[in-house]
Amino acid sequence: MTRKLFGTDGIRGTANAEPMTAETALNVAMAAGRYFTRGDHRHLAVIGKDTRLSGYLLEPALTAGFIAMGMDVVLVGPLPAPAVAMLTRSLRADIGVMISASHNPYQDNGIKLFGPDGYKPSDEVELEIEALMAADPVAERAAPAGLGRAKRLDDARGRYIEFVKNTFPEGLRLDGLKIVVDCAHGAAYRVAPTVLWELGATVVPMGVEPDGLNINDGCGATATEAMRREVLAQDADLGIALDGDADRVVMADEKGALIDGDQLMALIAASYHRAGRLKGGGVVATVMSNRGLERYLDGIGLGLVRTPVGDRYVIEHMRKNGLNVGGEQSGHIILSDYATTGDGLIAALQVLAATIGSDRPLSTTGRVFEPLPQLMRNVRFNGTMPLEDAEVKKVIHDAERSLGKQGRLVIRKSGTEPVIRVMAEGDDELLVSRAVDTIAEAIERAAG
């Protein structure tokens, strides 16, 4: 049985259209409330959001759903997704909810759930919640005297700031560093500059004027050009770019060159390995990570385990097998010594901790391995199944043969937006480019 609502990162869609309506949000809260109501204690849900205008639509609907099931609700306002996960555990809550569509534009929104342990639910749990959404909740609703209450947690921002700062090594400071930080007009627009400033950095903030419509608009982890230009204009030491809910990060060196999640994972893993802190003998990544990362880790005696795309699958493998470094090329980096989900701020601080005192710029320390030529293209489709087309299958087969044993293809439907992602990788850059072009064109034809 497959999930109908939940994708690779919660439920996501266009705001005020199914499934991102107030009605669905209400139903999700009631079903999740039923699932996570265990024991006879007073039950609690934590709700956070990013800065999208549609957060005002979904937040009260989720609140009403939990209250109807007899759960109290703590509202924390705009905060990063990892902050909601942290506060869910800290407040001994039964469930946490982040209202965000991550790196998507403002027109979209999403609902991400966290269990009482701060981790995202498994596929099996999401299936059970979907089944409860289809069932009649009337019998489970609270009696009038048993309805929940809602309150705002005024110091939520400060709690998260202190939590993040405490992951930075004691005795280290960022004095003398000039850092550009792009918050994507998103959930970290207040906390990220504050963390860096309190640790001693000279901070150049960007993307810190949200208006409900400008989240991820030409800024953030998926649109880094403005951040990289600002690094050069400000003669900064480095740049940090977060996405809308701040669970992913990419960085730029002092020359404005981008450093992606694969390079950041390699840097952190190597640093932990030298310090005897790396657990499990390697790193967990997804099928999208560059083979150059795999070769680098192998060269220093470490392994790379690949999972399907989605940080939740990375985390599941890390938990099951006792590893403490994992993530995605896109910048979701999970450091389980500190957090239960990707945290862009914590990952950035670990990179800084690994490089401070080396007397080398990030252009040197951040280039850990030489990546293989890799190219990805997103092809939009609407209501069709182009990957089932015979001509598309033939083109993919021919591309695999042309790339040979040293190359690879990853072609998949996105779990967060209506696109098919076409990725090719290999030693021959020309063959890689040709493979992506021919496959993308075939998919476009099949999709009409």
| Chain center to CA of 427 | 29
Q: Classify strands 178-182 and 238-242 as parallel, antiparallel or unpaired.
A: parallel
Q: Which of 110, 113, 148, 143 is nearest to 128 (CA)?
A: 113
CA angle 436-332-182, nearest 5°? 95
Both tokens of 134, joined, read 């289809």
Tell me the torsion sign for CA atoms 120, 121, 123, 127. Answer: negative
Contact 114, 341 (CB under 8 A): yes
DSSP E strand boundaries for 118-219: 150-152, 178-182, 202-206
User: In whole angstroms, what is the distance from residue 416 CA to residue 253 CA?
Assistant: 29
Identified catalytic residue from 54, 90, 100, 102: 102
The phi-psi region of residue 207 (left if phi > 0; otherwise alpha if psi is between -120 and 50; otherwise beta) is left
363 is catalytic: no
Residue 415 burial (C-beta neighbours within 10 Å; 0-12, 13-18, 19+): middle
Question: What SS3 state is found at 347?
Answer: helix
Give DSSP secondary structure letters for 360-371: --HHHHT--S-P
Place of tokens 């809910």: 245
User: Between the CA of residue 322 and those of 279, 302, 316, 317, 351, what are the distances in Å?
Assistant: 7, 14, 10, 8, 22
Contact 245, 273 (CB under 8 A): no
Contact 241, 258 (CB under 8 A): no
Both tokens of 258, joined, read 């981008």
User: In whole angstroms, what is the distance from residue 191 CA to residue 194 CA?
Assistant: 5
Q: How many CB atoms lie within 10 A of CB 277?
A: 13
Question: What SS3 state is found at 319?
Answer: helix
Q: Which 8-state DSSP code applies to residue 80?
A: -
Q: Which of 157, 175, 124 is nearest to 2 (CA)?
A: 124
User: In whole angstroms, what is the distance from residue 168 CA to residue 216 CA?
Assistant: 27
Active site residues: 102
